[in-house]
Structure 1
């Protein structure tokens, strides 16, 4: 159970921390670049980060269910915070899949075609979806800590 818990925590740190870094540090740092350069850096950064999420997200879901069923004995034995984490985790996973299949594909296709205006619009949509996921991720972390130690 300890290994499942550690993997779960590491996945959360990578996913939520990566979103925070991207939105709060990387994007503002790129503001001084011209549009095509900024989009090229964002595309390269997103490509790498999304690869991390494609590994962290399933690992978190799998370890989360392992913890629910083998540590708590099922959802009936889990605290309110586990139920909230389950819900927000599923919503975050759905948002990620939607942003990956929607705006991310549109951004990559537009960049490949040299259409920076469309790529920029898709990047803006990505930013909003990642922001929503970051907020959900931070709420989830707060709920996890509060439920585990605060009651």
Structure 2
């Protein structure tokens, strides 16, 4: 029963993180074109602040439940299939990219907004977009690997 709870939390964390990136890149970003640049930056700040807070909670839950399942269900790395190893690798990459976004361009974006530097803020939004797009590709790959490997592929 505890394993089912860990698995459910793991899947929910992945859905929130990857789904949030899909929404941000494929839905929200194109729709922002109707706004004037100052409004776009303000909306970016509000949306990213909420999304990054969500990921700060989902990411540790994903990593913790992943390790609990790895060692509790599979008995460690030796008992895990190729898909678990690949998910482990991509999850660590995704976590590193996220921490890079938050400690780099996100911090610089907020500093630029605080100084009223719209051009600097826009530059950082573009860096954030590039890194989130990279993480989205990693996240979709991870989901595909999880689905494929789950059924012995």
TM value normalised by structure 1: 0.99
4+ runs deviating over 3 angstroms: none
Does residue 110 of the first structure (1) align with residue 82 of the second (2)?
Answer: no
The separation in 2 between residues aligned to 1:150 and 1:34, in whole angstroms, is: 50
Counting matched residue pairs gives: 151
Match of 1:125 in 2: 127
Does residue 22 of the first structure (1) align with residue 24 of the second (2)?
Answer: yes
The separation in 2 between residues aligned to 1:108 and 1:37, in whole angstroms, is: 15
1:94 to 90, 93, 96: 96
Match of 1:81 in 2: 83
CA shift digits 1:64-109 (9 cap, x unpaired): 0000000000000001000000000000000000010000000011
Deviates more, 1:51-60 or 1:141-150: 141-150
Task: Report the alpha carbon displacement of residue 19 of structure 1 after superposing the two structures with TM.
Answer: 0.3
Match of 2:12 in 1: 10
Deviates more, 1:26-35 or 1:14-23: 26-35
Match of 2:47 in 1: 45
Task: Report the alpha carbon displacement of residue 36 of structure 1 after superposing the two structures with TM.
Answer: 1.0
Q: Provide structure 1 residue ranges, at least 5 long, that are not aligned to the other structure.
A: none
Match of 1:56 in 2: 58
The separation in 2 between residues aligned to 1:39 and 1:132, in whole angstroms, is: 21
Match of 2:70 in 1: 68
CA shift digits 1:90-131 (9 cap, x unpaired): 000000000100000000110111000000000000000000
Q: Provide structure 2 residue ranges, at least 5 long, that are not aligned to the other structure.
A: none
RMSD after superposition: 0.6
SS of the residue corresponding to residue 73 of structure 1 reads coil
